Amino acid sequence: MTGHFGARNALLYLHSRQRSDGSWQMTGEYIVLPTLIRRYLDGERGPELGVTTLKEGTSPILFGHPATGELQGTLREGSFKGTRYGPGGQERERFEFTADFPPMDGYSAAVACEAGSEGYRAELRYDIDAGKLKSFEWRATTGTAGQGCVVQANAQQALKGGLHFTQGGCAATLRDLGEFVKVTAENCSAQCSSDAYLEPLIVDKRGHCLLLSREIRQ
């Protein structure tokens, strides 16, 4: 989901598991943009009205670790809104998130960037004119054995709230995050050798790439 805490844009991931009483166990994380600070979430959503309470912290396992805050709000119909409180219960800021990402029909950019960490390296090149694909290539190598992926998308499919480029069954999706564009891949195993993968990237307004899962800070 995309949204904001006060004036700070953020990206929110939520996962849910329904309990026998109809309530939902919720886990997830959010990343504040552009500072790339991550916080992990754990809590529950009520069975009827969508009332949701999530504790946040710097560790994926919140039990036994001090909380950095709490989100209290309503989660329903692709929308999550409410108030973020500090660890002492003081109100910090209002938040609002939606599953509907902004359209990218007018997006134009020529990007050529690299990103890497701990034996993983990615190269991304694309040229998009007013939301239309001109060229797209995404390469990644993993480890010293040279395992890799190569995606050269040559077709475009309509997507509400983003851009969707394909090479056969492999798809690359671009989403507008304000300060960044998020680039993800799915169903691309045929374009990768056995131990290789395509890790999500974010591209800033200057055309620089970051590995989404590795460049964020606690």
Q: pLDDT 10s per residue in the chain (218 long)?
A: 999 999 999 999 999 999 999 999 999 999 999 788 999 999 999 988 899 999 999 988 877 788 899 999 999 999 999 999 999 899 999 999 999 999 999 999 999 999 988 889 999 999 999 999 999 999 999 876 678 999 999 999 999 999 999 999 999 999 999 989 999 999 999 999 988 899 999 999 899 999 987 555 44
Contact 83, 99 (CB under 8 A): no
Is residue 135 domain-shared with residue 194, that is, in the same domain? yes
Q: Distance between CA 53 and CA 71 in Å, rounded?
A: 6
Tokens of 75: 């989660």
Judged on CB neighbours under 10 Å (0-12, 13-18, 19+), 181 is buried
Residue 104 lies in a domain: no
Q: Distance between CA 81 and CA 5 in Å, rounded?
A: 10
Domain that holds residue 128: 109-211
Residue 135 lies in a domain: yes
Task: Report the pLDDT value the prediction gives residue 144, as an integer from 0 to 100.
Answer: 64
What is the per-residue DSSP string for the chain? Answer: -EEEETTEEEEEEEEEEE-TTS-EEEEEEEEEETTTEEEEEEEEE-SSS-EEEEEEESSS--TTS---EEEEEEEETTEEEEEEE-TTS-EEEEEEEES-PPP-TT--EEEEEEEEETTEEEEEEEEEETTEEEEEEEEEEETTTTEEEEE---EEE--TTSEEEEETTEEEEEEE-SSEEEEEEES-GGGB-TT-----EEEETTS-EEETTTS-B-
From the list 118, 161, 125, the residue with the least C-alpha distance to 141 is 118
Is residue 88 domain-shared with residue 118, that is, in the same domain? no
Q: Which of 33, 67, 98 is the last residue of a domain?
A: 98
Task: Report the pLDDT value the prediction gives residue 147, as an integer from 0 to 100.
Answer: 84
User: Which residue's entry shows tokens 């992926």?
Assistant: 149
From the list 207, 155, 176, 191, the residue with the least C-alpha distance to 33 is 176
Is residue 115 domain-shared with residue 89, that is, in the same domain? no
Residue 129 lies in a domain: yes
Is residue 198 domain-shared with residue 119, that is, in the same domain? yes
Is residue 206 domain-shared with residue 121, that is, in the same domain? yes
Number of domains present in the structure of the chain: 2
Tokens of 155: 């077709």
Residue 10 lies in a domain: yes
Q: Which of 98, 133, 162 is the last residue of a domain?
A: 98
Is residue 85 domain-shared with residue 128, that is, in the same domain? no
- What does the radius of gyration of the chain's CA atoms come to, in whole angstroms? 19
Residue 127 lies in a domain: yes
Q: Which of 75, 98, 121 is the last residue of a domain?
A: 98
Task: Quote the pTM value.
Answer: 0.87
Is residue 123 domain-shared with residue 201, that is, in the same domain? yes
Q: Distance between CA 46 and CA 111 in Å, rounded?
A: 44
Is residue 71 domain-shared with residue 127, that is, in the same domain? no
Is residue 114 domain-shared with residue 93, that is, in the same domain? no
Residue 57 lies in a domain: yes
